[in-house]
Amino acid sequence: MAHFARIDNTNTVTEVIVAEQSQIDTGLFGPPEQWLQTSYNTRSNVHVAGGTPYRGNYAAPGMIYRPDLDAFIGPRPDADTTWILDIPTLTWRRPLPEPELQPGQFPHWNEALQTWTLSNNPWSPEDMEL
């Protein structure tokens, strides 16, 4: 048995099932071309059991399949920010690496300044307003 992700016409994953390739090929679950195999053991473009990573990340509903990368990518964390896709890991990251921390320091991304700030508070100022 393998895991298969159904993608819609926008390449968005709508569901993931466990099935045999032969079942997918019969059309039992809909058009076979809508189904792509995904690896339960692949995360951040690494196979957690030491094998070969397959399609970047294990697919989940809401993820996007990128044919140009042959990979499943999670949605951008916040569409109004500067998150960029890190191709080696096929995950989203800030445009600058996190700074080195001293004990008791916590990094927070400052969107207005496009930089990291450090504080002794583990919660960002935005989290504190909730």
Same domain flag for 47 and 16: yes
Nearest alpha carbon to residue 59 among 77, 35, 24: 35
Burial 50-70 (b: 16+ CB within 10 A, else e): eeebbbbbbbeeebbbeeeee
Average pLDDT, the chain: 92
Q: What pTM, to 2 d.p., does this model score?
A: 0.82
User: Domain range for residue 120?
Assistant: 95-130
Where in the chain does DSSP place strands (E)?
2-7, 13-19, 35-38, 42-43, 46-47, 64-66, 71-73, 84-86, 91-93, 106-110, 115-119
Same domain flag for 88 and 106: no
Beta bridge partners of 42: 47
Residue 54: pLDDT over 90: yes
Backbone angles phi, psi at 32, to 5 degrees: -55, -30
How much is the pLDDT for 79? 72
Same domain flag for 89 and 111: no
Same domain flag for 120 and 79: no
Same domain flag for 76 and 103: no
Asked if 47 contacts 38 with a C-beta cutoff of 8 angstroms, the reply is no
How much is the pLDDT for 101? 92
Same domain flag for 77 and 123: no
Same domain flag for 57 and 10: yes
Using pLDDT thresholds of 50, 70 and 90, give the confidence band for residue 112. confident
**Rounded (5°) CA angle 75-72-111:** 30
Same domain flag for 77 and 35: yes
How many structural domains are present in the chain? 2
